[in-house]
Amino acid sequence: MSTHQFQAEVNQLLQLIIHSLYSHREIFLRELVSNASDAIDKLRYLSASDDAYKAIAFDPLIRITFDAASGTLSVEDNGIGMDESDLVENLGTIARSGTRRFLDAMAADKRRDSNLIGQFGVGFYASYMVADTVSVLTRKAGQDSAWLWVSDGKGAYSVEPASRDGHGTTVTLSMNDDGCEYLSRWRLEELIRKYSNHVAFPIHLAYEEEEYDDKGKKSGKKVKKDEQINSAQALWRRQKSELKDQDYVEFYKNIADSDDDPLLWSHTRAEGTVEYTTLFYVPAKAPFDLYYADYKPGVKLYVRRVFITDDDKELLPPYLRFVRGVIDSEDLPLNVSREILQQNRVMNAIRTASVKKILSELKDLAARDKDKYASFVDQFNRPLKEGLYSDYANREALLELIRFKSTAVDGWTSLADYKSRMKDGQKAIWFITGDSEERLRKSPLLEMYRKEGQEVLLCTDEIDELVMPMAGTYGELEFKAVNRAGAEKDISDKKDKETDKDLQPIVDKVKKALGDQVKDVRLSSRLSESPSCIVVDEHDPSIQMAQFMKALGRSADTEVRPILEINGDHPLVAGLASESDEGRIADLAFVLLDQALLVEGAAVKDPADFVARLNRLIAR
Distance CA 318, CA 312 (A): 11
132-175 per-position pLDDT tens digit: 999 999 999 999 999 999 998 877 889 999 999 999 999 999 99
Phi then psi for residue 609, to 5 deg, are -65, -40
Give the strand order in the sheet containing 131-139: 2-5, 156-162, 146-151, 131-139, 168-175, 72-77, 62-67, 203-212, 218-228
Q: Residue 101: which pLDDT band, with cuts at 50, 70 and 90?
A: very low
Distance CA 317, CA 328 (A): 17
What separation in angstroms does the CA of 257 have from each of 136, 208, 260, 389? 38, 31, 9, 31
The residue type at 617: L
Percentage of the chain exceeding pLDDT 90:
51
Residue 202 in this model has a pLDDT that exceeds 50: yes
Q: In a 10 Å sphere around its CB, with 0-12 CB exposed, 13-18 middle and 19+ buried, how is residue 38 labelled?
A: middle
Distance CA 239, CA 246 (A): 15
Query: Could you tell me if 456 and 407 are in contact, meaning their C-beta atoms sit under 8 angstroms apart?
Result: yes
pLDDT value for 311: 82
More confident residue, 288 or 241: 241
440-485 per-position pLDDT tens digit: 999 999 999 999 899 999 999 988 988 888 888 998 899 999 988 8
Among the residue ranges 85-99, 401-415, 551-565, the one predicted with the least confidence is 85-99
Distance CA 361, CA 265 (A): 8
Query: Could you tell me if 72 and 172 are in contact, meaning their C-beta atoms sit under 8 angstroms apart?
Result: yes
Residue 492 in this model has a pLDDT that exceeds 90: no
Residues 6+ apart with CB under 8 A from 518: 511, 561, 562, 563, 564, 593
pLDDT value for 466: 85
511-567 per-position pLDDT tens digit: 999 999 999 999 988 898 999 999 988 777 777 677 666 666 665 555 678 999 999
Handedness of CA 416, 417, 418, 421 (dihedral sign): positive
Q: Where are the beta strands (DSSP E) in 412-558?
A: 428-433, 456-459, 473-474, 477-481, 520-523, 532-535
Q: 501: number of CA atoms within 13 Å, CB side? A: 3
335-351 per-position pLDDT tens digit: 677 777 778 899 999 99
Using N-to-C axis directions, what is the helix angle for 582-599 and 607-619, rounded to 10°?
Answer: 120
pLDDT value for 522: 92
pLDDT value for 324: 96
Handedness of CA 391, 396, 401, 407 (dihedral sign): positive
Residue 250 in this model has a pLDDT that exceeds 50: yes
Q: Residue 95: which pLDDT band, with cuts at 50, 70 and 90?
A: very low
CA-closest candidate to residue 434, choices 404, 470, 462: 462
Largest CA distance in the chain: 115
Residue 100 in this model has a pLDDT that exceeds 50: no
DSSP single-letter state for residue 542: P
pLDDT value for 118: 31
More confident residue, 4 or 372: 372
Q: Locate all alpha helices (DSSP H) within 98-150, ordered by sequence.
A: 100-108, 113-118
Distance CA 172, CA 162 (A): 14
Three-state DSSP class for residue 296: coil
pLDDT value for 553: 65
Query: Could you tell me if 155 and 6 are in contact, meaning their C-beta atoms sit under 8 angstroms apart?
Result: yes
Phi then psi for residue 232, to 5 deg, are 60, 30
pLDDT value for 270: 94
Q: Per-residue pLDDT averaged across 389-413, rounded?
A: 95
Q: Per-residue pLDDT averaged across 32-45, rounded?
A: 88
Residue 115 in this model has a pLDDT that exceeds 70: no
Residue 220 in this model has a pLDDT that exceeds 80: no
The residue type at 249: V
Share the mean pLDDT of the chain.
85
Distance CA 234, CA 307 (A): 11
Among the residue ranges 24-33, 256-265, 274-283, 521-530, the one predicted with the least confidence is 24-33
Q: In a 10 Å sphere around its CB, with 0-12 CB exposed, 13-18 middle and 19+ buried, how is residue 298 labelled?
A: buried
pLDDT value for 117: 35
pLDDT value for 310: 82
Query: Could you tell me if 103 and 12 are in contact, meaning their C-beta atoms sit under 8 angstroms apart?
Result: yes
Neighbours of 322 (CB within 10 A): 21
Domains and CATH numbers, the chain: 2-228 (3.30.565.10), 235-367 (3.30.230.80), 402-490 (3.40.50.11260), 497-619 (1.20.120.790)
List 208's β-bridge partners, or say none: 224
